[in-house]
Amino acid sequence: MGEPSSFRLVAIDLDEHTVARRTREIEQEREIAIYDLLEANSFEPVGSPGGPYRLVLSIEENRLVFDIHLDDGAGHGRVMLSLTPLRRVVKDYSLVCDSYFAAIRTAPPSRIETLDMGRRGLHDEGSALLQERLKGKIEVDFDTARRLFTLICVLHLKG
């Protein structure tokens, strides 16, 4: 097995003061996304000589902020994206997740499966949109975009 890429995240945090109290399900989604992201990711800020990187995700005004640091803590830059293009898919994903989490307690398996398929479809749509919005700023593979999209949703899901 070769050396791990220097274009990867080794730590990620959410700016907790932008988030209200989360439900158990939302907190579990956050933990899984961070764990999976740190296990395998591809994160390459355009023009960067390499990392590895530490990332803090936050929302300022109507913008998503990627605050990037090197592993030693030195600042490496900030990327800001308007949330407007992501807002619809984040809202739809949130609604489907709420329905899914409610359904897993009482609904028949066919209903749960239908909601899960819708949830995965919206997740894929949001991930592709995030990857597109980051193009020219930060190159990420689709799996990294999926996990980042989950974390962006956690910033919005106020439980």
Instruction: Dump pLDDT digits (tens) for 66-117.
Output: 999 998 888 889 999 998 999 899 999 888 888 888 898 899 999 989 998 9
Please state, in angstroms and rounded to a whole number, the distance separating the CA atoms of residues 107 and 72. 48
Q: What is the mean pLDDT of the chain?
A: 88
Identify the CA nearest to 43 among candidates 79, 5, 81, 1.
5
Rounded Cα gap, residues 46 and 14, in angstroms:
22
Q: Is residue 135 part of a domain?
A: yes
Please give the residue range of the domain that contains residue 123: 9-156
What is the model's pTM?
0.87
Using 50, 70 and 90 to split pLDDT, how confident is the model at 7? Answer: very high
More confident residue, 29 or 77: 77
Give the 3-state secondary structure of residue 83.
coil
* Number of domains into which the chain is organized: 1
How high is the pLDDT of residue 157?
A: 55
Confidence of residue 155 (pLDDT cuts 50, 70, 90): confident
